[in-house]
Amino acid sequence: MKGTVLTFTKIADLPSGRGRAGIIHTPHGDVPTPAFIPVGTKATVKTVLPEAMKQLGASALLANAYHLYLQPGPEIVDKAGGLARFMSWDGPTFTDSGGFQVLSLGSGYKKVLSGEFSGSGRADYTVAAKKERHALVDDDGVTFRSHLNGALHRFTPEKSMQIQHHLGADIMMAFDELTTLLNSREYQVESLERTRRWATRCLAEHERLTRERADKPYQMLYGVIQGAQYEDLRRKAARDLSAMEVAGRSFDGFGIGGALEKENLATIVNWVCEELPEEKPRHLLGLSEPDDIFAGVEAGADTFDCVNPSRIGRNGGLYGRYGRFNLTRAEFKDDFSAPVKDCNCYTCQNFSIAYLRHLFKAKELLGFTLATIHNEYFTVQLVQGIRQAIIEGDYLAYRDKVLGDFYCGSPLRSHSG
């Protein structure tokens, strides 16, 4: 079984820009694109049942190789029949390589990474530099300590592929080195070459494991493009990974990763997508805010993932047409109307904002569930709306309306109308 096995079908293009609507075909079903892929880090979207994720419109879920490697272990997931069966999810699945986590959770640079990925550009290097580093990168791989118990572990490209093959997701990511915007250009060049060599090793191990596990459904492997904010490095990475072939095996799609400042997001994604083949899908890692998604789609990204909808929900934040607001505000104490006016999600159709506020104030976990359901629904439906608008030819009107309301309106209007 050689080359690109699973296919991407393009259905419609944006008249301007690189955006498109299409379908990613996997053994566990199709993923209509553009699509938001909710994150189920440890084989679960926190506090939400799998059937609820299906009902709110999710076409696929993403789990994390690092976390599942540490607990319960990839062999357990393999024995269960793979990630989808283990988590009782009837649909396609993605896994990331673990590269982000070994270099953020274990590196001593979490504050730096968090600051950069927030788009503030004001990460505190001094704080991070004083922390003990728990991840060490060399040309062969990364040695790191578990954030759970401090135990020493090592990831190499081969190890990441072995873990992800055992997890059995439909779409996997190649192992890459995550850099930050604080790294020098010289280090970015060195790191990019390391990631290129690791990508070659990932393809070779992927080919070996695909042959060894021929009785399993084929798993699509994406190469991950780094290069920070440098146009020449981003374009080089995209060209290198597009042309890469090992034993007849090439990448089935591409992930766009690394440190991206918000104001440069569209520019960087556009550089990359100009170099990538049209017939293969592109995944933008770690973004979910409406303006970022529109920018990514227009630049050519097909799928997106992020923990924000669930994380914000667990902290009492709700997305609505006119922005994001906090449901624990005092004025909601005796407000028995829907949390978000005119929302068709399970939460808004069945519960009042007074009830959700009560759950959070009482520290009842059902509050996490209901807020997460709403936020995942909001994000999934937003991107489905983008897809439909591309197909119907009214994308610009849809974008301007959505972003105009979300960023220019009063957030509480989402609740009160």
Catalytic, 305? Answer: yes
* CB of 155 closer than 8 Å to CB of 141: yes
The catalytically annotated residue of 30, 90, 96, 302 is 96
Query: DSSP code of 54?
Result: H
Question: What residues contact residue 152 under an 8 Å CB cut-off, 6+ apart?
Answer: 143, 144, 145, 146
Catalytic, 252? Answer: no
Tokens, residue 173: 């990511």
Side-by-side strand order, sheet with 303-306: 35-38, 303-306, 282-285, 253-256, 220-225, 171-173, 93-96, 61-64
Q: How far does Cα 155 stand from its chain's mean position?
A: 21
The catalytically annotated residue of 78, 90, 305, 394 is 305
Provide long-range contacts, Cβ within 8 A and 24+ apart, for 227-231: 227/188, 227/192, 227/258, 228/179, 228/181, 228/183, 228/188, 228/258, 228/259, 229/181, 229/259, 229/260, 229/261, 229/264, 229/268, 230/185, 230/188, 231/271
- 154-155-161-167 Cα dihedral, nearest 10 degrees: 70
Tokens, residue 91: 């649909």
- 156-132-179-250 Cα dihedral, nearest 10 degrees: 10
- 113-115-121-126 Cα dihedral, nearest 10 degrees: -80
Indicate which residues carry an active-site annotation: 96, 305
